[in-house]
Amino acid sequence: MNNLNIAKIESVDKPVGRKSSKWAATWREYRKSKYLFFMLIPVIAWYAIFHYGPLYGILLAFKDFSPRLGIMGSPWVGLDHFKFLFFQSPDFMRIFRNTVLISCYHIIFGFPAPIILALLLNELRLGWFKRIAQTISYLPHFFSWVVLSGIVIVMLSPSEGPVNFLLQLVGIEPIYFLADTDYFRSTLVGTGIWKEVGFGTIIYLAALSGIDPALYEAAVIDGANRIKQIWYITLPSILPVITILFILSLGGILNAGFDQIFNLYNPAVYEVADIIDTYVYRVGILGAQFGLTTAVGLFKNVIGIALVLSTNYVVKKMGQEGVL
């Protein structure tokens, strides 16, 4: 009924017996949805300024910036910044390596953690206990790395921290987790898991709750034990979710976690902890080397978009819905 009426109303707007150009047709369409368009104007203007505006600044990657001359007036230097970075700079290889390594550690150790926790929570029979455990495990997710780093610094202190106190009880010498280059990356991974493991279970638990219980009943009748049930029913059922999240995490490999590292690192561990983002902040903003660090940022963005597009392509190839 309604559809019929709509069709009639729309037919009134259509040009009747009058030749009209494409422009006129577009104009009419816009007039018809003028309120929608008015709503969109401030938003598009905002995107133009705050998302497309900075794209203009990318020119700096090819210029020798001087604040007096501005972005446009500064002299061109072509690819000099990139040549310096790739062939001469002692820093670039270090920050690139650190970024990729820390990301890989986060993926290798941090990615399976919520899956395992979700599987364990899923096996719990006590409903109220499961709910409370979930609520508690989400908690650290809601605090900033400023707060959490403040806590982590206290917890890992070699002289007062409870972690070293417990290590001492089992006869291990105090470890300088945040100042020892051998331990710093492990500390990043460990504290990263502490913050995100609980929250990461949400999506897996939802996938787990969608598994048909009849599958388990059939498996029990066939004599499958718990491990076999997990291996042959649970894991295959949530495999699509695992795959997508894994591929997405590969796409973000150049984001090694600025907030976390910036609040936990110190000059003693720059060698193993300095990543692209922290370098850009320190050298670019604090050191005012705008041209060079814009080039670093551009390099990161180009690799980043290539990674996202290719991982998205892979996800789609596998028959899953991509993010684009």
**Tokens of residue 271, six digits:** 């060698």
CB of 251 to other proteins, least distance (A): 10
Question: Which of the residues 166 through 195 are near other proteins (CB under 8 A)?
Answer: 194
Find the binder of other proteins among 69, 79, 104, 144 (CB under 8 A). 144
Find the binder of other proteins among 109, 281, 303, 314 (CB under 8 A). 281
Find the binder of other proteins among 69, 147, 235, 318 (CB under 8 A). 147
Question: Any residues with CB less than 8 A from the CB of 74 and at least 6 apart, and which?
Answer: 60, 63, 64, 65, 66, 291
- State how far the alpha carbon of 275 is from the alpha carbons of 80, 96, 101, in Å: 22, 7, 10
Find the binder of other proteins among 74, 137, 260, 311 (CB under 8 A). 137
Task: Give the max Cα distance, the chain.
Answer: 94
Nearer to other proteins, 17 or 50 (CB): 50
Nearer to other proteins, 8 or 18 (CB): 8
Query: Do 65 and 71 form a contact (C-beta atoms < 8 A)?
Result: yes
Find the binder of other proteins among 84, 138, 216, 246 (CB under 8 A). 138
Per CB under 8 A, 125 contacts other proteins: yes
Find the binder of other proteins among 198, 260, 272, 273 (CB under 8 A). 198
Find the binder of other proteins among 73, 93, 97, 135 (CB under 8 A). 135
Nearer to other proteins, 107 or 119 (CB): 119
Per CB under 8 A, 231 contacts other proteins: no
Stretch that binds other proteins, among 16-24, 86-94, 97-105, 298-306 (CB under 8 A): 298-306
Residue among 237, 278, 255 nearest 107 (CA) = 255
Residues counted in the chain: 324
Residue among 90, 98, 107, 281 nearest 181 (CA) = 98
Find the binder of other proteins among 20, 24, 47, 172 (CB under 8 A). 47
Per CB under 8 A, 142 contacts other proteins: yes
Query: Do 255 and 277 form a contact (C-beta atoms < 8 A)?
Result: yes
Stretch that binds other proteins, among 11-19, 79-87, 88-96, 145-153 (CB under 8 A): 145-153
Find the binder of other proteins among 182, 285, 287, 316 (CB under 8 A). 285
The site map against other proteins for 49-78 (x = CB under 8 A) is xxxxxxxxxx-x----------x-------
